[in-house]
Amino acid sequence: MPEQEFLPPRPPARFHRPGPGNRGPDGPAGYQDEDPPPWANLPRPGAGYPAGSEDEVPREQPRTPGGRALRAAARRRRRWLIMAAGLVVLAGGVIAAVVVPGGPAPAPVVPGGLITTFQPGELQTVPDACGTVPAVTVQQYLPGQVKQASPLAIDGTAGSACDWTIDQAPVYRLLELNLLAYAPSGLASGDGSATYAAMDAYAQILQDLRDPPKRSADPRAVVSTLNGLGNEAFSATQVFRRGGAVTDVATVVVRYHNVIVTATLNGLEHSNRGTYGPVSMSQLASAALAFAQAAEAALHG
């Protein structure tokens, strides 16, 4: 009897990858999904899927490398953006409550009161994630035949995501890049501004990596603070061991004002079928950092 396969991650999110619209059970409408690989057994920060779950695929179906990881990325992004959309809706309700009667704009912010509008420097939209990384960067850190996938946006232009996949034994890589702009929210700490909402999200991502929830099978990450990138940033590394497979994961999370950028790179160190690996964690971390830096730089334009 074959070993049970599991699924991969992060941060952030998310950010999800980054939100949703018309979509199927595994992702937004138009998303080019694939059937799962028989060997990858990739880990996903935040979840594992037990036997009998809806994610199982009958053995007789065609199995194309990379599908399971891409579907997992779509689900993560959907959950992330649904949460973000809820914050946007709540923020909109707060704004409507303080609009000056008969006026088109929100009432002036009262010192010490709740901020309900975007402030100078904050972004309401983010650039296309796939377009933020130069082709030369992709080729440098992901050499080989790279497949790029751009899930359709499910939260307007406030979120964007992109995946790059390589499956050429002995190399398997999945790099996920997510960008999400947060809106003002009455649920946020501080003055409720969009920046505070992003700060809260950043802190939660960091906490979950350092100390995963008790019911999570994810390993604790080794976290390092990154200086000179955005308003705050960190890198994290994890090693997942699931069903005989070993996957190294490097994550870089950056906050720039109210935007969270998350770059996560999965490298298959060992599979329970086929010959993959070895993987250099330092190379994975360097690649994740390069993609995060490119995306953060695009926010300044």
What does the alpha-carbon distance between residue 195 and residue 64 come to, in Å, rounded to a whole number?
A: 41
96 within domain boundaries: yes
Tokens representing 165?
């996949």
14 within domain boundaries: no
What does the alpha-carbon distance between residue 162 and residue 179 come to, in Å, rounded to a whole number?
A: 9
What is the C-alpha end-to-end distance of the chain, expressed in Å? 54
Portion of the chain with pLDDT greater than 90, in percent: 54
Query: Of residues 268 and 14, which shows the higher confidence score?
Result: 268
Q: What is the pLDDT of residue 72?
A: 53
Cα 157 from chain centre: 16
Q: What is the pLDDT of residue 10?
A: 41
C-alpha dist (Å) from residue 298 to 28, 129, 179, 230: 25, 9, 11, 11
Smallest CA-to-CA distance from 291 within 257, 266, 271 is with 266
* SS3 label, residue 178: strand
Q: What is the pLDDT of residue 151?
A: 76
1 within domain boundaries: no
Q: Residue 102 contacts by C-beta under 8 Å, 6 or more apart in sequence?
A: none
235 within domain boundaries: yes
Mean of the per-residue pLDDT values for the chain? Answer: 75
Portion of the chain with pLDDT greater than 70, in percent: 61
141 within domain boundaries: yes
Q: Residue 31 contacts by C-beta under 8 Å, 6 or more apart in sequence?
A: 23, 24, 74, 149, 151, 152
With a cut of 90, say whether residue 130 has pLDDT above it.
yes
Tokens representing 288?
């994740």
Q: Sign (positive/negative) of CA torsion 40, 41, 44, 45?
A: negative
The predicted model scores a pTM of 0.68
Residue pair 193/119 in contact (Cβ under 8 Å)? The answer is: yes
Q: Sign (positive/negative) of CA torsion 65, 220, 197, 260?
A: negative
What does the alpha-carbon distance between residue 164 and residue 177 come to, in Å, rounded to a whole number?
A: 9
Task: State how many domains the chain has.
Answer: 1
Residue 210 amino acid letter:
R
Per residue in 233-257, pLDDT tens?
A: 999 999 999 888 999 999 999 999 9
75 within domain boundaries: yes
What does the alpha-carbon distance between residue 48 and residue 247 come to, in Å, rounded to a whole number?
A: 14
Residue pair 95/106 in contact (Cβ under 8 Å)? The answer is: yes
Q: Lowest mean pLDDT of 86-95, 132-141, 160-169, 176-185, name the range.
A: 86-95
Q: Residue 253 belongs to what domain range?
A: 23-298
With a cut of 70, say whether residue 200 has pLDDT above it.
yes
Tokens representing 232?
């705050």
Q: What is the pLDDT of residue 166?
A: 97
pLDDT class for 272, splitting at 50, 70, 90?
confident
Per residue in 139-163, pLDDT tens?
A: 999 998 999 998 766 657 899 999 9
C-alpha torsion angle, residues 263, 152, 19, 214 (rounded to 10) = -50
With a cut of 90, say whether residue 52 has pLDDT above it.
no
12 within domain boundaries: no
Q: Residue 160 contacts by C-beta under 8 Å, 6 or more apart in sequence?
A: 18, 126, 127, 128, 129, 130, 153, 178, 179
